[in-house]
Amino acid sequence: MTPGWDIAPHEHATDEERPGYLRQHDIRPFPRGMTPPPWPDVPARTGDWIDSVKARREYLRTCQPTSDPLPELLAELHNQFERVHPFLDGNGRTGRLALNLILVRLGYPPVIIYKRQRDAYLTAMRKADDEDFGPLGELVARAMLDNLNRFIVPNVAGPARMIPLAALANKEFTVAALRQAAQRGRLDAIQASDGVWLSSRRAIRDYKRIKHRRRPKAT
């Protein structure tokens, strides 16, 4: 937060509320949302949140997907941090970084909440304020899967391994373009039983070579 703060600090911040320091102001109630605790309660509430993460760390490592949906547990911890709102500014960014720290330490890919997802994210957070962690958990799960396909799977898969098109898409070829090429038989790909198209990096290289060749006309 420091580089941004140096240029545009919070207008009500004191010297004791710069980046890295807990807030010493009360936060207004959020529209259609929760009211953060009074600032004198923040140190204790922040400490309680850290203790909660530590206490649940082993449980998060061993929870079973069928009975204990990990994304919902992570969503609950993330929501608890945001409800404390420990800083005068940057709570969302700090909370998402903290969520990623937890994910990485558990061996999962970090998540990115994009600007275009802001409305869905805020709506899910409001539902989490009412103890409904499902929507926020789903958003976290989809972001985990997206980053797994975009960044991790392509780097660990061999050139001939069949992987989802989402893991092969890039600036040159979008998922939609690759799917269309697969459906037309231009890209060597298969469609799994769940409807997901799979291809390989080798097939993408081959497709790139023939992309602009014209097919011979049928006689």
Q: Which of 55-59, 186-190, 194-198, 213-217 has the lowest mean pLDDT?
A: 213-217
Position 72 confidence tier, pLDDT thresholds 50, 70, 90 = very high
Instruction: Report the alpha-carbon distance of residue 97 to residue 103 in Å, rounded.
Output: 10
The verdict on 26 and 127 lying in the same domain is yes
The verdict on 45 and 105 lying in the same domain is yes
Asked if pLDDT for residue 85 goes beyond 70, the answer is yes
The verdict on 137 and 62 lying in the same domain is yes
By three-state DSSP, how is residue 210 classified? helix
CB atoms within 10 A of CB 189: 21
The CATH number that applies at residue 33 is 1.10.3290.10
Asked if pLDDT for residue 2 goes beyond 70, the answer is yes
**CB 43 within 8 Å of CB 85:** no
Asked if pLDDT for residue 66 goes beyond 70, the answer is no
Does the residue 27 lie in any domain?
A: yes
pLDDT of residue 216: 56
**CB 166 within 8 Å of CB 148:** no
* Cα dihedral 69→74→80→81 (10° resolution): 180
Instruction: Report the alpha-carbon distance of residue 57 to residue 101 in Å, rounded.
Output: 12
The verdict on 142 and 170 lying in the same domain is no
Average pLDDT over residues 78-90: 95
The verdict on 167 and 149 lying in the same domain is no
pLDDT of residue 86: 96
Task: Output the average pLDDT for the chain.
Answer: 87
pLDDT of residue 45: 97
Does the residue 217 lie in any domain?
A: no
Does the residue 93 lie in any domain?
A: yes
The verdict on 97 and 47 lying in the same domain is yes
Asked if pLDDT for residue 219 goes beyond 60, the answer is no
Position 64 confidence tier, pLDDT thresholds 50, 70, 90 = low
- Give the domain range for residue 162: 158-210
The verdict on 176 and 98 lying in the same domain is no
Does the residue 83 lie in any domain?
A: yes
pLDDT of residue 195: 85
Does the residue 216 lie in any domain?
A: no
Asked if pLDDT for residue 218 goes beyond 60, the answer is no
User: What are the tens digits of pLDDT across the range 30-40?
Assistant: 887 789 999 99
- pTM for the predicted model, two decimal places: 0.74
Which parts of the chain fold into alpha helices (H)?
Answer: 2-7, 42-62, 70-84, 91-105, 118-129, 134-147, 153-156, 175-183, 201-210
The verdict on 97 and 13 lying in the same domain is yes
Count how many domains the chain has.
2
The verdict on 143 and 165 lying in the same domain is no
Position 5 confidence tier, pLDDT thresholds 50, 70, 90 = confident
User: What are the tens digits of pLDDT across the range 106-145?
Assistant: 888 889 998 999 999 999 999 999 999 999 999 999 898 8
The verdict on 81 and 32 lying in the same domain is yes
Average pLDDT over residues 64-68: 62
Last residue of a domain, one of 130, 155, 180: 155
The verdict on 121 and 26 lying in the same domain is yes
Does the residue 171 lie in any domain?
A: yes
The verdict on 19 and 68 lying in the same domain is yes
